[in-house]
Copies of this chain bind each other. A is one copy, B any other.
Amino acid sequence: MPRTGLTASEIRTKAIDATMAKMREDGFDKVRLTDIARELGLSHAALYAHFADKAALFDAVSERWLSAIDESLEAVCRKRGEPTDRMLSWMLVLHRAKVAKVLHDPELYKAFDLSTAVQKPFAQRHMDAMHGQLVGLVREAIAKRRLRDADPEAMAHVISDSLMAFHHPKLVAQHIGEKREPLLRLVLETVLRGLNLKS
């Protein structure tokens, strides 16, 4: 048994907490495993029992945030009401989550942005999860005759790509401070109208 008296999962949690704090304080590229370990009262080598390497610890930080987003989005999906209204809420939640992160947690955002840029598996899983949710909403909308009866996968791609400017990490960061929600609404309304009609 460990000297720490903590379970593996508790250690993981504390390590992630400490890493987040350090990222915020000194910048994500100044985080050292030895500092994190000292924070937990461990030798740095002990961390390797819980994380494959430094990158895995960093990924865990981003993953925690992405999971929270996924849950918020999932909650929107589960709501009752018009599927198209939920699509708008869904996009707004996603957009606002990214905007808030850039503004209030820029260092964590940078780390996340880097991870997505190199297509890390956890980022891909997040994208897949979001795409799945969007396909679900599209199916509902088709069932309720709010969108025309066509391939839901393709329609979800159209929605996701046409709103790229409002959720892609780099673009959200670029347009920070611009109040782009009205344009987001306009674009989504337009796209949904376009997906409603027969070609």
Contact = CB atoms under 8 A, between A and B. Distances in A.
Interface of A: 117, 154, 157-158, 161-165, 168, 170-171, 174, 183, 186-187, 189-195, 197, 199
Main secondary structure of the interface of A (DSSP, over half): helix
B194 A199 contact: no
A123 to B, nearest CB: 12
Contacts of A174: 117
Contact of A186 (B158, B163, B189, B197): B158
Given A164-B165, A165-B164, A194 B183 contact: no
Contacts of A165: 161-162, 164-165, 168
Contacts of A168: 165, 171
Contacts of A190: 158, 162, 191, 194-195
Contacts of A197: 193, 197
Contacts of A171: 164, 168, 170-171
A8 to B, nearest CB: 36
A199 B189 contact: yes
Given A171-B168, A194-B194, A162 B189 contact: no
B199 A183 contact: no
